[in-house]
Amino acid sequence: MNNEFTISINGQECVAYQGETVVDVARRAEIDIPTLCHDTRLEPVGACRVCLVEVEGERRMQPGCAWQVKPDMKVVTESDRISKHQSVLYSLYASDHRVDDEALPVETGNGNQLRQLCAETDLIPLEPVSAERVGRPDDVNPYIAFDPELCILCARCTRYCDEVEAVNAITLAFRGSETTISTAGERGLLDTTCELCGGCIDTCPTGALIEKKAPVLMPADTDKVRSTCNFCGVGCQLDLHVLGDRVVKVTSPPPGETMNDGNLCVKGRFAYDFIHHQDRLTEPLIRGEDGVLHPATWEEALQAAANGLKRVSEKHGADSLGFVSSSRCTGEENYLMQKLSRAAFGTNNIHQCAAT
């Protein structure tokens, strides 16, 4: 059964597949539909109402992130009706959130996407709304901070915690204007099932969830460098935010770009202090005849290690040697370790710590 068909978006013919949504098809065709509650890793819920589009035959506008496409469907993403809706919606959001406060974070997680949308729209002047929402000011966890005054209740963080991490540490609590992101019994994250992965920070579209360790406002001259996490052998990709010669923050690449799909664990996202630790070795050391470690080049260190292994092998035989590789190494590095053991030294005494 062929599940490929075409739909029309703003008069443009677009290839679509069974089960896709309007946003899925539009983004592949490079047609912009703004969203706030949408994350490709999560099931669509249509909570923020930012992505409403007009579908031929439908009386009401429909959420593009959740509306599934059908053959020959005709969709309009830009019209006076949609523009008026967005203007009113963003104005309502702005009346209840400090989107124009320049002291608020921009480069946190997904950045303050709400502020960006409001800046691109002619807002209607509305009286500010005073809605007291409970935060967690006494939460002593070392990594994640929550500002309820920036939260728009899109539930991306709670859905990520449920659908991706499957730990259900945070949830929507209370009702009406008091609704907020909370925990069972309003406990701190350390007293919940939270794994402190920081995925809630990464998916938050308004900066309501931010990292405590990193600067709230990243300087403009901060460089972003793609790298590989070195805490295990999975190979998760991450982005290092470098200011001068120091890593000041770690974020995950956008979902869909790398094998970890925008996800990181607590170590990958937050445990970067070792990079600049004063006790970290910065060059190889060789123990001299005086019993003291002396700095050396990598060539000298590798040669010293090879000579030591050869001396043991020649004196006691190849099977007197044993090689143990680390699960923090890549598959290629582990392959080379067993090649070194079997081909270079002639012993099958090779093990990998992840096998225990």
Spatial distance between the Cα atoms of 201 and 21, rounded to a whole number of angstroms: 25
Check: CB of residue 26 under 8 Å from CB of residue 14: yes
Second-level CATH architecture of 93-211: 2-Layer Sandwich (3.30)
Residue 130 carries which DSSP code?
Answer: -
CATH 3.10.20.740 applies to domain 4-78: yes
Put residue 109 in one of left, alpha, beta given phi > 0 → left and psi -120 to 50 → alpha: left
Buried b (16+ CB within 10 A) or exposed e, 135-154: bbeebeeebbbbbbbbbbbb
- What pLDDT sits at residue 119? 86
How far, in Å, are 36, 117, 317 from residue 114 at the CA level?
7, 5, 68
Spatial distance between the Cα atoms of 60 and 317, rounded to a whole number of angstroms: 81
Spatial distance between the Cα atoms of 241 and 304, rounded to a whole number of angstroms: 36
For the chain, give every residue range classified as CATH 3.30.70.20: 93-211
Q: Considering Cα of 178, then 181, then 183, then 187, what sign does the dihedral take?
A: negative
For the chain, give every residue range classified as CATH 2.20.25.90: 223-276
Q: Give tens-digit pLDDT for 214-225.
A: 876 777 788 999
Q: What pTM did the predictor assign?
A: 0.85
SS3 50: coil
- What pLDDT sits at residue 261? 94
Check: CB of residue 345 under 8 Å from CB of residue 313: yes
- What pLDDT sits at residue 64? 97
Low-confidence ranges of the chain (pLDDT < 50): 1, 106-109
- What pLDDT sits at residue 113? 85
The percent of residues above 90 in pLDDT, for the chain, comes to 69
Spatial distance between the Cα atoms of 204 and 143, rounded to a whole number of angstroms: 15
Q: Which residues pair with 292 in a beta bridge?
A: none
For the chain, give every residue range classified as CATH 3.10.20.740: 4-78
Tell me the residue type at 39.
D
Q: Fold for domain 223-276? A: N-terminal domain of TfIIb (2.20.25)
**CA Rg, the chain, in Å?**
27
- What pLDDT sits at residue 105? 53
- What pLDDT sits at residue 28? 94
Residue 21 carries which DSSP code?
Answer: B
Spatial distance between the Cα atoms of 252 and 264, rounded to a whole number of angstroms: 7
SS3 26: helix
